[in-house]
Structure 1
Amino acid sequence: MTRVIITAIGSSGDVHPLLGIGAALAARGHEVVFCSHAPFEAAARRQGFAFVPIGTAGEYAAAMANPALWHPRTSFRTLWAVIAPTLQPHFQTLVSMIDDDTMMVGTLWAFSARLVQELYRVPLVSVQVSPSTLLSTHAPPTHPRLTIPRGLPLGLKRALLYVIERQVLDKVCGPALNTLRAQLRLDPVTRIFGQWLHSTDGVLCLFPEWFAQPQPDWPTPHRSSGFPLFNETGDAQSDPQLDTFLATGERPVVFTAGSTLIDHGRYEEAVRGALQESGLRGILLTPQAPASAPESADPHGPMPTVLLKRRYVPMRTLLPRCRALVHHGGIGTAALAYAAGIAQVVTPFAHDQFDNAARVVASGCGVRLDGPLQARTLARALKQVLGDPAIATQCGRVQDHIAAAPDGCEAAAQFIEGFMRRGARVPWGRADAAVTRTAMVVTGHGA
């Protein structure tokens, strides 16, 4: 048995896949310690994991409620302003937990785990939840402000990407990261996202190769595990009204903006208008809805005939009973739509959502809708995806392909286990003694 410390930083779409992978590792007999934001503690403990919080629930709620986090011009800098203060305490926490039978798994923003790998030679598997942060010059990611046209000569794309890394990404993250590295007697780093943050042991890509074709300049070794279709966040609650709505009339369209901070009143207005114009029925997942159906609701009595609102419904069980999905472009949400075999209308707002939207379109399973959501344009997009036989055929092909592929969580766990079997660890005694002493002083151990 190996202790696996999983650091999952980000929104639900970043954290939930790691819960599924952790469950697969635990089922194989390993001890899982889940290190994430405080609001995910209950979900982690339901899986039987030990839990170590990063920050407080209040800090996380404040970060998610900051409009700047969801605007393409300010999202990256705002997210880093939340993460930078956690670098040293997170590093200290990880150092206190590791021994010579520990390995780590970390998502994109697990910078502290990467530092621990450098100092203590603890094996680390870096996880790429979506392909947008694999900064390939052969297939540059899609972003509303910094997209590099793929048709440019390779040398020019390489030069442009280098400028973006050095003048945008490094300028934001470099000062805080390199200040801590100096305290640890580590040299400063550049090209943080293009090179440094990827583990030198292995990189795990949580998407299939048909969604993002591996590129020659991706970090090595890497493995595409397929989508980790993990959507369980608690005991399923009975909802007779929802069941009746689904069973009565034409299959509905599901609408969700995920964790994205938007004007939910205006979003609902656009959804209602699109349904009225198209004659479709819908289910809107929104934080403005009650947590569950009222206990007094009569499933056989009067109920919404066009739009039913819920705060949360597990999409893995909901989507197979629906016609299409309108969503924000979260890769986990897109994966569940692929698995259900339904068409997608993707309305990206920030972060990796633009790149994911472009890949949904390229896969032939949906359309992308930019700009503020409006009833008429949304109705047209729904008409397009529901009326195109080629999209319906391709959705069925992808659904069959996913059903026949190995389980994404199991494939990921197998990749992680491979580093345990190969004995990637370097015994503690072989770590540089001076560096180790410095790290212990900085973190308060052995001072």
Structure 2
Amino acid sequence: MSRFLFVVPPLVGHINPTVGVAARLAAAGHEVGWVGPNAALAPLAGPGATFYPTGRPLSEFALVGRPPQLRGFASLKFLWEEFLVPLAEGMAPLVDAAVDEFAPDAMLVDQQAVAGALVAERRGIPWATSATTSAELVQPLSEMPKVAAWLDDLLAGLRRRHGSTAATHDLRFSPHGVLAFSTAELVGPVGGNVVFVGPSIAERPDDTPFPWSSLDGRPVVLVSLGTANADAGGPFLAAAVEALSGLSELVQGVVVDPTGELCSKDDVLVVRRVPQLALLPRCAAVVCHGGHNTVCEALSHGVPLVVAPIRDDQPIVAQQVVEAGAGVRVRFGRVGAELLRSSIASTLDESSGYAEGARRIQKSFASAGGADAAANWLSELAATRTSGLKR
């Protein structure tokens, strides 16, 4: 049996897809250790999870709040300079200490937790990239050479300080393999050594209170922008409430407003949180910001989407949904209730083909293998190291 060290950032959407993989490895008799979750997110890894290095409190890494008006390069620059690079600097000594203590045979490293890649390459440990979003797989900066060069310089600086100067590969893409939690049917063609395993959606405890008795049997349209976009989402969510109130003969709207500023109206239920995985089987459509996890969870249930991307990877994920024929895209900052209503109605119309497209992606997800496929691939990666050591 082998030891696997999972290196993840303190971000829910980047931890959740790996939890099922860790569970499958543990069920097969392997050992799994974690580096990266902070105290608030540690429970996501499960009650039996072990965090390294042991004997010290979990680090309190936290996402620095970005001004909601930042878009494009300004948003990317803030993300890397104010969060991802400092995160790598802070995590690198922790990953080194974890490797000393746990002695992993292989590592699974999130694309945004580059400290794991730096330590793995320097210490000669096989590692796979965990691509919990598909945006980077399509090389989004390939047509922006100045931005790409700026990011290359940031990563080169990290490598000089913490990695191996002999290495030349992009730290976001392991030369051993990139586990992509999606499928080619959604993402489209990509190059390199990408292994599509489909979404890893593990059952997770969710005690979020929800007024289930308020659902009357009509198909549900769920509207959610995620908690990270609460400050910017008010006008959009208000438009969604108005849009759905005009579709009450067809569907029942559920709008997630983390701020609690909106009120239920005309048969549209407004709540601060939802148990999303439990609610999705009742949904006929989902309106979201293009977060990769929400998109994949909806499509795993064959539910078409209306996607209103805000920033980061969301425009790319939204375009993938459109090109796959699984939904429509609207402009987050400019869509009004009328256009939003017609966009939702189009996804509900079977003749539009969006539901069929969503079901096609659903089938590709199911056949890809998910957490089982990822765990099996990682087991083979670790086996190459252990067999080499035996020689």
| TM-score (structure 1 length as normaliser) | 0.75
Aligned pair in 2 of structure 1 residues 289, 385: CA closer, same or farther (>3 Å)?
same
**Which residue of 159, 165, 168 maps to 1:181?**
159
Identity rate, percent: 25
Question: CA offsets per residue over residues 345-393 of structure 1, 9 Å max, x none?
Answer: 0010011111111111122121011241421211111121112422233
The answer to whether the 8 Å contact 2:256/2:274 transfers is yes
Check if 1:227 corresponds to 2:237: no
Q: Which residue of 2 aligns with 1:125?
A: 128
Q: Which has the larger radius of gyration?
A: 1
The answer to whether the 8 Å contact 1:339/1:398 transfers is yes
The answer to whether the 8 Å contact 2:208/2:274 transfers is no
What displacement does 1:23 show?
Answer: 1.7
Q: Which residue of 2 aligns with 1:56?
A: 60
Q: Which residue of 1 aligns with 2:239?
A: 270
What displacement does 1:51 show?
Answer: 2.7
CA–CA distance in 1 between the matches of 2:43 and 2:162?
34
Q: Which residue of 2 aligns with 1:376?
A: 338
Helix, strand or coil at the partner of 2:184: coil
Aligned pair in 2 of structure 1 residues 68, 169: CA closer, same or farther (>3 Å)?
farther
Q: Which residue of 2 aligns with 1:210?
A: 185
Aligned pair in 2 of structure 1 residues 397, 181: CA closer, same or farther (>3 Å)?
closer
Helix, strand or coil at the partner of 1:342: coil
- Write the letter of the residue equivalent to 2:144: I
Question: CA offsets per residue over residues 174-228 of structure 1, 9 Å max, x none?
Answer: 24x43443345843888x7xx343212221111112112343xx222x3110111
**Which residue of 340, 354, 363 maps to 1:391?**
354
CA–CA distance in 2 between the matches of 1:384 and 1:235?
31
What displacement does 1:308 show?
Answer: 1.8
Aligned pair in 2 of structure 1 residues 103, 397: CA closer, same or farther (>3 Å)?
closer
The answer to whether the 8 Å contact 1:128/1:203 transfers is yes
Aligned pair in 2 of structure 1 residues 68, 134: CA closer, same or farther (>3 Å)?
same
Deviation >6 Å, runs of 4+: none
The number of residue pairs the alignment matches comes to 376
Aligned pair in 2 of structure 1 residues 97, 392: CA closer, same or farther (>3 Å)?
closer
Check if 1:415 corresponds to 2:377: yes
CA–CA distance in 2 between the matches of 1:311 and 1:420?
43
Question: CA offsets per residue over residues 160-183 of structure 1, 9 Å max, x none?
Answer: x2x735x213324524x4344334
The answer to whether the 8 Å contact 2:2/2:104 transfers is yes
Question: CA offsets per residue over residues 381-434 of structure 1, 9 Å max, x none?
Answer: 11211124222333334434544x25401111111111112226876xx9xxxx
Q: Which residue of 2 aligns with 1:328?
A: 289
CA–CA distance in 2 between the matches of 1:251 and 1:16?
27
Helix, strand or coil at the partner of 2:41: helix
The answer to whether the 8 Å contact 1:364/1:394 transfers is yes
What displacement does 1:55 show?
Answer: 4.7
Check if 1:287 corresponds to 2:265: no
Helix, strand or coil at the partner of 1:325: strand
Question: CA offsets per residue over residues 258-293 of structure 1, 9 Å max, x none?
Answer: 144243432331112112333342111232249xxx
- Write the letter of the residue equivalent to 1:197: R
Q: Which residue of 1 aligns with 2:8?
A: 8
What displacement does 1:315 show?
Answer: 2.1
- Unaligned residue ranges in structure 1 (runs of 5+): 147-160, 291-302, 431-447
- Write the letter of the residue equivalent to 1:13: G
Q: Which residue of 2 aligns with 1:257?
A: 225
How does 1:130-149 map onto structure 2 within 5 Å? 130-136=133-139, 141=140
Please report the RMSD computed on the Cα atoms of aligned residues, expressed in angstroms. 3.0
What displacement does 1:238 show?
Answer: 6.1
CA–CA distance in 2 between the matches of 1:337 and 1:70?
27
Q: Which residue of 2 aligns with 1:154?
A: none
The answer to whether the 8 Å contact 1:253/1:324 transfers is yes
| TM-score (structure 2 length as normaliser) | 0.85
Helix, strand or coil at the partner of 1:134: helix
- Unaligned residue ranges in structure 2 (runs of 5+): none
Aligned pair in 2 of structure 1 residues 97, 426: CA closer, same or farther (>3 Å)?
farther
Check if 1:362 corresponds to 2:333: no
Check if 1:71 corresponds to 2:48: no
CA–CA distance in 2 between the matches of 1:83 and 1:309?
34
CA–CA distance in 2 between the matches of 1:375 and 1:304?
14
Question: CA offsets per residue over residues 78-123 of structure 1, 9 Å max, x none?
Answer: 1112121232331211111225543210111222222212211011
Aligned pair in 2 of structure 1 residues 399, 86: CA closer, same or farther (>3 Å)?
closer
